[in-house]
Structure 1
């Protein structure tokens, strides 16, 4: 196993950390100091911490995934919620967000910090829709192989706070929205199902900025590879396809790969069987690629979610080489249980929360 692949992956993720990205963005902003900070998403904790370090003590509401709120001051109102399928806490978080925004007085200024994961972490459903409806919708969307844009269109239809709905209740003077993109095209109306999108028409001053993205992560990974003396053979956002198709296409590329590094980003889609096992799309793609490079020496591939999690697991993905594939692997792939196999092989990649979320990152190194 070539540990340089992991170093390159981590360099890419570190470059788009929520704290640094937010700190840098605020240092170059000339807008007014906010009266209220709201942060929502998997990177919300680190983004809010950077804003508080920049402005000093301010009222702050943070909605994030379980275990992602470390290091925040005690006075910050933190709601830890469920991902990737919402639970009762998600509804409490959605109501808290709407109440906070609605309660801001005329003439006030809002700083809204948005990152991926908000679609599940906070929701305030339209009249007639319940938590069971939300859970059923999210479970279906996650298993049907839809891309994130299509998924979030469906989510917005039953939400009062997505697609511009949250800021549609704002009656203050200005809002600044800083977002970390986990979607293709870095479209604010898709990130978190548009929880940070301005309403149309908009009755207040609204500045929106994308402050971190998959492109920035890939470029940083490519730079790290060059520092290690490796040739960057490819650096593209091309992981947007169904998982088996991607595995075959990337597998052919790896089999003919000369010495160097391939850097790929994006977010594969996957169709899940009934009662899927342990694993996510990154673990599944890593194991599919292990099959493609079986028996080939000198290739290491790491596939990981840049937020440090993969589906409903606490692993980011997998690290595989030509020796990883073995007996039983095909069966666990069919059962969507790749995480169990990778753990047995010592090929599970676990990072813990990274403080960011810019889709997935694949690094392949051939010696």
Structure 2
């Protein structure tokens, strides 16, 4: 089921059906995200050879696809931006300057683009952005909150790339990795009008107690740097086309379950909250099925997606999917007949090249036999260390796509 979810979001399978017709002028491809390289490759394969095509996209280190013929692929750091991402962002802005209405800007956006497009506004340094990113990642802030802040410190996000590309025609192809598939949130919406405000960004930072350098505070208070809003001429005629979503991934997994004679129950594609809390809630649902056959009889599988969060308090190696699984396993207490998988569809849970893990009724006893207490690992946010010791990690390598988290709880 996990593999089916990933395959459903492959740009090779989905992107060609969403391409616009070539324009009378030039086509410039730009983009950012963990799927940017595979999306660019899919564009090259499908684009007519006799039509002009050039561009530049930026992806995460290790998520490239080798050299392409007409589109340059740059790799940079995620989730904390680096100088390579900053340089790529400025080059992308430069690529879309001076175009005409006869030209087309084809923008390829996927999850991770916020960190990879790191062109700061005047007065903000890359070091400032790195520090704020790290603080937000550890705070437990939701993705919408993090991207609200990122938009208001960026020269390219929050619709500013669309401003730079005008008056060219703009078509954005998006792989969604956020709850609700809001294109203004995915990669912080570089080509989409921004409904959030500087005041909201300041409120997010205050809510999580994140200290700001005076220069950054000044930028967030200066109305000259407010992001472009709906109604701005830059967005007239701009199109956004969603080519892959978490819901489609869950539906692909559900078809696998049905073919195996297992009833799929899709709990939601936009589930948020603290990972450990979501784990406890889903354990309660799974136990209700196992004990009482409600809301459905076993065998069945509870499927869900979205993006949970982790408030980091320990010093372990973790990610939101393994944090969820640790909490789930503890709450299930080894209940017979229940197993689960959780993983990030991009192949990276947290900051490690580990997609997620699996649990079974034997997980807690296996850990105890190794002298490992699951609750101690959870308290330390050490999900990767826990599942690595058990040999229960799921390692896919870069999947070259990203429709966020995938969770399946199988009840037999």
TM-score scaled to structure 2, two decimals?
Answer: 0.82
Equivalences for 1:58-207 in 2 at 5 Å? 58-105=53-100, 107-197=102-192, 200-203=231-234, 205-207=237-239
1:123-156 Cα shifts (integer Å, max 9, x gaps): 1111111111101111111111111111111111
Q: Is the 8 A contact 1:114 1:196 kept in 2?
A: no
DSSP-derived class of the 2:87 partner: helix
Partner of 1:210: 242
Partner of 2:210: none
Equivalences for 1:1-367 in 2 at 5 Å? 8-26=1-19, 29-30=20-21, 32=23, 35-56=27-48, 58-105=53-100, 107-197=102-192, 200-203=231-234, 205-237=237-269, 239-257=271-289, 258-273=298-313, 276-325=315-364, 326=367, 327-367=372-412
Cα-Cα RMSD: 1.8
Identify unmatched segments of 5+ residues in structure 2: 194-227, 290-297
Q: Is the 8 A contact 2:101 2:169 kept in 1?
A: no
Q: Is the 8 A contact 1:294 1:323 kept in 2?
A: no
Q: Name the CA distance, whole Å, in 2 between partners of 1:63 and 1:111.
A: 14
Q: Name the CA distance, whole Å, in 1 between partners of 2:62 and 2:320.
A: 21
Q: Name the CA distance, whole Å, in 2 between partners of 1:138 and 1:103.
A: 32
Q: Is the 8 A contact 1:218 1:235 kept in 2?
A: no
Q: Name the CA distance, whole Å, in 2 between partners of 1:24 and 1:366.
A: 37
DSSP-derived class of the 2:305 partner: strand
Shift of 1:60: 2.5
1:245-276 Cα shifts (integer Å, max 9, x gaps): 211101111223332111111111110126x3
DSSP-derived class of the 2:180 partner: helix
1:49-103 Cα shifts (integer Å, max 9, x gaps): 1111111452121200011111442553221010111111121121111111124
Q: Is the 8 A contact 2:33 2:109 kept in 1?
A: yes
Shift of 1:157: 1.0
1:202-249 Cα shifts (integer Å, max 9, x gaps): 346311111111111111111111011111134422531112221110
Q: Is the 8 A contact 1:45 1:355 kept in 2?
A: yes
Q: Name the CA distance, whole Å, in 1 between partners of 2:183 and 2:265.
A: 31
Q: Is the 8 A contact 2:55 2:95 kept in 1?
A: no
Shift of 1:201: 1.4
User: Mean Cα displacement is larger for which, 157-166 or 199-208?
Assistant: 199-208
Identify unmatched segments of 5+ residues in structure 1: 1-7
Q: Is the 8 A contact 1:109 1:172 kept in 2?
A: no
1:280-309 Cα shifts (integer Å, max 9, x gaps): 111111121121223222222001111111
Shift in alpha-carbon separation, 1:31–1:77, aligned structure 2, 3 A: closer
Q: Is the 8 A contact 1:294 1:321 kept in 2?
A: no
* Residues paired across the two proteins, number: 357
Q: Is the 8 A contact 2:40 2:71 kept in 1?
A: no
**Structure of larger gyration radius:** 2
Q: Name the CA distance, whole Å, in 2 between partners of 1:238 and 1:63.
A: 26
Q: Name the CA distance, whole Å, in 2 between partners of 1:12 and 1:137.
A: 32
1:300-351 Cα shifts (integer Å, max 9, x gaps): 2001111111111101111111111233322222222210110110111111
